[in-house]
A and B are shown apart, each in its own frame.
Chain A
Amino acid sequence: MSNTKLALAVLWPAFWTGLPIKLALTLLFLALGMMKLEALFGVAFLLLLSSPVTVLAMPFLIGLFDLHLSEGAGLSLVFLFSIPIDMWAVGLSARTVFIERLQLEPQDGMAVQLWGKIAVVGGACVVALWAVEGFVTGLAKSVAHAVLEMELLKALPVAERISLELTLWGSVSTITLVVLLVLSLWAVGAVIQMQARQARPLAESYQKLVHRWDLMRVPADQGLILTAFTGAGVVMTLLFWSGLPSTTPHPHETYQQPVAKVAPVLKPVEVLNKSERVLTQAESAVEALEKKKAEESSQSKKASKGKPGPKESSAATATDAPVAKTAVSASPSLKQ
């Protein structure tokens, strides 16, 4: 089997095998606020997807190329967790390929060994790929731009210009990327071939081989794996619930959040005592006024025309506004 084909046969399933677990971790860290993804979301996804080869390349990409994917420790943690996840995924994938496609016996410890070699070689390829692709794309973009600036094309309208320019540098960029990918796969494939050469051949029928790698996926202790898996999932869910923000992390700039009415701390006894004092003060003031009024009315001929009691006392209160007002204003700030 050719190097590129072999690399693809091992890496493609390994990428996808690890992804669901990495995504679950990413989601958890997002909910806990440990990760804030930036605009290059798609790039982050692709790097995470191809993580056996990108894990060791990440520090270089961030350092050398100023790649800024996220805020917070979350993404780095996911890449860290990727290491054991990928060791398992690469192991599973490689063993399957060895058994079915190459008809070779996988060795013990192959998973970790292969992971290590793929991470180093793949990592180097990713860094090189990034550099070359970046350079070529930049060059293609400026050439395409220059082409569009030509006199011949000056009359072309905006929409056509955009598509033409995009196609020009896009096709160059894509072809370069494909070529670089094939080369990288070839390099990784060579590493896997080296491992394959050390393996001894298997002489079983095709059916038996398929059966073997298929059953390889069934663990010896099902109950344990099942319980551990579900338990881990439940724990992660509980953490997810604890961290999930209940209102949007991107609120609209003009939206008025309802002002939470904080009930003022009431000291009821104090309040009521004060109110009592106010009332007794007001009562005594009213009594005094009524006495005064009675004296006045007994003197004056123009008595009030038998209006009911409350009206009199309110009239009295009105005239003695300053007393009443101070009494009223002395009551604490209960009035909202």
Chain B
Amino acid sequence: MNTTPGTTTQPSAVEKILAFVDERVGLKAMQAKMLNEPVPGGSRWAYVFGSVLLFIFIMQAVTGILLMFYYVPTADHAYASTQYIIHEVDYGWFLLSYHFWGSTAMVVCVFAHMSQVFLWGAYKKPRELIWLVGLALFGIVMGFGFTGYLLPWDQRAYWATTVGVEIMDKTPVVGDFMARFLKGGPTPGQMTLSRFFVIHVMILPAALMGLAGLHLFLFRAAGPAGPFRGSPEELKAKTDYFFPRQIWKDIVAMATVFASICILAFWEPVVLLEEATPDPGDYHPEPEWYFLFLFQLLRLKIFSGEFGQFLGAIALPGAFMALLAALPFIDRDPERNIFKRPIALIGWIVVMASILIFTVSAIINREFLD
């Protein structure tokens, strides 16, 4: 990293160690290749979301591991151990609340990252594979949210999961098998908790790390897309390397996200409902906020009945995801300027607005449930 001009003084111990490693591993060359990536048009704040997502994942892994020191995934002690963390372990409430709000931050940043890539047209050739791997990562992030939600085993957790898995059951052909696989039986219980735990703690993290690595590799292979407008002279004048400027912006964004999650943890620390029971009582099941729009969609009359539920829960979201996956192959126009891609721009606005409207509707709908 140091580009200080060569002096004739003796190398320090650190320099000697670095030289030793460099001779064997090619450290300097590797470092240069990793860090000195020119970003056309210069580093931008708009590009920080990928790195921020990586940061959030690392924080979730760290807080998650810490939670595992006290949490036990058994139906008889999951609730008690979670309450123990919140009430008795020093700063347990803070770490658990951080983990909880961190998952919200992850979903928000995933939407931001996908939107940025979409609006910048960075899914087009030669970046189709990065986009596809990214969609898989999106699915994994949603999976994390869904599986993690069950673990505290309170009423909210239990019933949100029950309803969610029932919805997945509506998938044609494989639905029943999938639902039984996830539940570990015909109804939710200890088997469900064990499966959700191992998926949340082992399978999804491994999948995420593998795919994220692939995502980064493919990104490097294709090079950063850069801004969608600007004369070559402008782009050249502003070009700088990934390190230090983009990394600097990334870390400031990470600090901002870190502070925001901590603030959220203070504003609304995790408070559990009563322990899960087979009788929902007065409680109205509801999924996490980022699934609320789907949840509300399914309340519309057009999606009533078995076929309607299938349409709203499986067919429509499935078709939308398929559209996203097909996007780089349908949209072959090399134009990347969003202001010259009216369909893309309007499409994005419509999708975001719809998600927002249905999410808020779900919140309003709560008052009408009693």
Contact = CB atoms under 8 A, between A and B. Distances in A.
- Are A and B in contact, CB atoms below 8 Å, in the complex? yes
Given A163-B361, A207-B237, A20 B87 contact: no
A249 interface: yes
A162 to B, nearest CB: 5
Interface stretch (A112-120, A153-161, A266-274, A301-309): A153-161
A250 B100 CA distance: 15
B361 A248 contact: no
Contacts of B267: 30, 37, 41
Contact of B83 (A160, A246, A255): A255
B360 interface: yes
B70 to A, nearest CB: 14
A209 B281 CA distance: 67
Interface stretch (A21-29, A121-129, A282-290, A292-300): A21-29
A222 interface: no
Given A246-B90, A252-B272, A23 B233 contact: no
Given A23-B259, A27-B262, A159-B299, A251 B87 contact: yes
Contacts of B272: 252
Interface string A14-47: 0010011001101100110000010001000000
Nearest to A16: B45
Specify which of A16, A245, A247 lies most central, judged by the most chain B CB atoms within 10 Å of its CB: A247
Interface string A143-185: 0000000000000011110110011001000000000000000
Interface in B244-290: 252, 255-256, 259-260, 262-264, 266-272, 274
Contact of A206 (B86, B233, B301, B361): B233
B97 to A, nearest CB: 8
B93 A247 contact: yes
B87 A248 contact: yes
A159 B308 CA distance: 15
A163 B45 CA distance: 35
B152 to A, nearest CB: 11
Contacts of A252: 83, 86-87, 271-272
A41 B270 CA distance: 16
B63 to A, nearest CB: 15
Nearest to A161: B368
A31 B87 contact: no
Given A26-B263, A248-B87, A206 B269 contact: no
A109 interface: no
Given A158-B368, A250-B271, A23 B357 contact: no
Interface residues of A, number: 38
B51 interface: no
A162 B365 contact: yes
Interface size of B as a range: 35 or more
Contact of A248 (B93, B252, B255): B93
Contacts of A158: 299, 365, 368
A210 interface: yes
B138 interface: no
Interface in B153-207: none
B29 interface: no
A67 interface: no
A2 interface: no
Nearest to A38: B267
Contacts of A16: 45
Given A37-B267, A162-B365, A19 B88 contact: no
Contacts of A157: 300-301
A255 B357 contact: no
B86 A248 contact: yes
Specify which of A16, A207, A248, A249 lies most central, judged by the most chain B CB atoms within 10 Å of its CB: A248
Contact of B357 (A163, A210, A248, A250): A163
B74 interface: no
A248 B364 contact: no
Interface string B353-370: 000011011001100100
A247 B92 CA distance: 7
A20 B368 contact: no
A264 interface: no
Contacts of A26: 259, 263
Contact of A159 (B91, B93, B238, B300): B300
Contacts of A24: 255, 259
A211 B239 CA distance: 11
Nearest to B93: A248
B271 A257 contact: no
A24 B234 CA distance: 35
Nearest to A246: B90
A258 interface: yes
A159 B293 CA distance: 12
A249 B83 CA distance: 13
A71 to B, nearest CB: 12
Contacts of B104: none
A248 B270 CA distance: 9
Contacts of B296: 159, 163
A249 B269 contact: yes
A211 B237 CA distance: 8
Contacts of B47: none
Contacts of A163: 296, 300, 357-358, 361
A244 B87 contact: no
A11 B368 CA distance: 41
Contacts of B83: 252, 255
Given A37-B266, A162-B365, 15 more contacts: A20-B255, A23-B260, A27-B266, A30-B262, A30-B263, A159-B299, A160-B301, A162-B361, A162-B364, A163-B358, A210-B237, A211-B237, A244-B94, A248-B270, A254-B274
Closest 10 CB pairs of A and B: A248-B93, A159-B299, A23-B259, A30-B266, A207-B237, A246-B90, A37-B267, A163-B361, A210-B237, A162-B361
7 contacts: A26-B259, A27-B263, A159-B296, A163-B300, A207-B237, A248-B269, A255-B86
